[in-house]
Chain A
Amino acid sequence: MDAPLSPLGVGSHVPDFEINTYEPKTKGFGKFNLAAQKAGGRWSILFFYPADFTFV
């Protein structure tokens, strides 16, 4: 499914998504899954930045 053309507004419902991750704590790979966050009653903060090997 393609992402919606207009970005999500504050107050709107965020569609569930899953992305691959690197986990510094375990030095392994993992997943970040919004549905799992919601099921666990957890808040989520997404912190986008331009690219690795640049300043964040």
Chain B
Amino acid sequence: MVTVSNDTQFVHLAWHRSEKELAGVQFSMGADPTGKLGRMFGVYDDGSGLTLRGTFIINPQGQLMNSEVNFYNLGRNIDELMRKFKANLYLSKKTNEGCPSKWKDEGDATLTPGPEMVGRVHEALEAQKKTPAKV
């Protein structure tokens, strides 16, 4: 996990040192002073010189798996970020399954797409509630 803004690493140091709210935040703080990285992900705003609230998950093969961008005035839900991250880890091991919207952690019901599930998603999820999936 790396946080990124257009500030330099020196400003990051100063901010981390002065802002007590950041005392517990231990993530690497990335510097993108030219906006090059922000442009690559479509979050750099040329008009303001600021970066939109974008979150991107990249797998170990370098493939972009998730993309979420919020405007300046809407914060992100870290629980949802962690849900998506956990789902990505799970799905990288169980490549024939899918994690539905209510999936939160390993052991929760997943879907395995196939002909028998077409039009029967509700029944498939209900069946797993009665017999929890083996992990």
Contact = CB atoms under 8 A, between A and B. Distances in A.
B65 A10 contact: yes
B63 A12 contact: yes
Interface residues of A, number: 44
A50 B51 contact: yes
B67 interface: yes
Given A14-B64, A50-B50, A52-B5, A8 B30 contact: no
Interface residues of B, number: 58
Interface string A10-49: 1111111101111111010110101001101111111111
A16 B62 contact: yes
B58 A14 contact: yes
B62 A20 contact: no
B40 A47 contact: no
Contacts of A47: 1-4, 27, 55
Interface of B: 1-16, 19, 22, 25-32, 36-43, 50-67, 72, 75, 81, 85, 88-89
Given A43-B60, A47-B3, A52-B12, 18 more contacts: A7-B43, A8-B56, A10-B64, A14-B62, A15-B40, A16-B62, A21-B9, A21-B28, A24-B25, A24-B26, A29-B13, A37-B60, A47-B4, A48-B38, A48-B43, A51-B5, A52-B5, A56-B75
